Chains A and B, each alone.
Chain A
């Protein structure tokens, strides 16, 4: 994998980014209603002033060009709904929270998923296999908006071990990140189990045994790398899912993350916030997938990206 490949990947991003900006820009504007349509109390004169302030009185095309010009300067514009706040400010405030939530969820997913799957693979067709795999079916089938309230009910209300809302202390982080990571942990445990069991049936494992390696050496040196490749390639989609899935979790646990702004802005037709958050999501997902592909190529010497 060379620098050429990296450049090519980045070059592909340019037209896609252009397309995303254009699509989101026009789609949100053609949706019925507008940022000020719900404010019935404002008079026609004030409305006109508002529209002029945000350049909404200009033709759509020049608004579009203006957006691109601002975008090039890294300016995502002012929010239409949160007076005196820019989209950049909103993102600067909410993104770290969402990133932290997402990374914690991913950590849970990998930790729980790999250890449960590893255990199942070491002792297939025993309780160590059946119990984690039963849980994982549950995790895959249950949506976040069911898992979240159940966790809240059990650990928050019955056992009273953990707080059920907010984002101040470390205890606040446990339930939301578990809720968000649960389904991914479930899926990763299946991938781990399958990957490891497949590797253990390979002939090179027999070779390793014939050389006198111990079981733990065989697992660590000869099985993990190949066996976890399916997990690595799943991390891309998983990250994308976690980033976007955070919307629901943030709502359940009342966390001031990006997801809430995204939903709220779509409902309120806060055009610039919708644009800004969508573009951010797109960029994050793109970068994550890119990183995962690079990691994959490092782990599997047979993969050559051209």
Chain B
């Protein structure tokens, strides 16, 4: 199957006063049509920047794209002009964000925000777009969608607003939906509803999804493939089963161990010792080196080459066999 999105050795750095922040430092993976790819990793590992940057959603400067390719439908997004990119954003690629409270404009009616993608990309009249947007709200389970269109964001709860965001992102029938921690700000029951909603819509529309999260529970429930990120690098990729049952990277293992599980009652979860490195001073070696219990001399000097098992499962580690 041809990938919908193919990211190859992509690098994006921030040029700040303090120095160069290597937020995305050479990442490679594919996203296939109709599939969900989850990106996991600790806070600051570059998950958000790895997506926002190639879509032109981060200010340049300080951001600078340093190289690689991001092929969407075979076209390199990195070579596109701002105008070309703008035509793709909100049309073929839609996004939803973590904070449903602040991601909608508080000064504008829900309706006038909902219709924007249809008016811009589908050249609909405001009236047509209004009707379509109302239907979109009904599809995501908002009762009295008519009334909701006339309301302002502050009149809704967080979960409702996230439904609005989802409905808005889907009005143009995108091929790819990027969801940056769509449920982190919501309480647990609402989280489950939103994930369920995303899943059902995805199956209906045959849409690909990139789901950024640091909740491995979410990954197990909704992803097909997983990318584990650390300090701007991809450490391991594979199917959900590869990552959960056959993970080969010490960092992935540590991440899994620090996640609460329902089938095991533990008094205290083991946390990963130490802190993620400062992305300004990352060395040539493996950035996990200091925190890794398998560390070897070579880890300090060289970033490991790719190891793989089967077509999909890939990881980057100098250690041959971990227990």
Contact = CB atoms under 8 A, between A and B. Distances in A.
B102 interface: yes
B261 interface: no
Interface residues of A, number: 20
Nearest to B112: A221
Contact of A211 (B56, B120, B152): B120
Interface in B224-242: none
A222 B108 contact: yes
Contact of A212 (B104, B106, B108, B120): B120
Nearest to A209: B57
B95 A213 contact: no
B106 to A, nearest CB: 6
A64 to B, nearest CB: 49
A68 to B, nearest CB: 46
Contacts of B120: 211-213
Contacts of A202: 102
Contacts of B97: 203, 206-207, 210
Interface stretch (B26-34, B82-90, B315-323): B82-90
A222 B168 CA distance: 16
Interface in B57-115: 57, 86-91, 94-95, 97, 99, 102-108
A245 interface: no
Interface string A203-228: 11011111111100000011001100
B117 interface: yes
B116 A204 contact: no
Given A203-B97, A203-B102, A214-B86, A208 B116 contact: yes
A40 interface: no
B105 A204 contact: yes
A301 B86 contact: no
A226 B107 contact: yes
B117 A212 contact: yes
Interface of B: 52, 55-57, 86-91, 94-95, 97, 99, 102-108, 116-117, 120-121, 152, 154, 165, 168
Given A210-B94, A210-B95, 4 more contacts: A206-B97, A211-B116, A212-B86, A302-B106
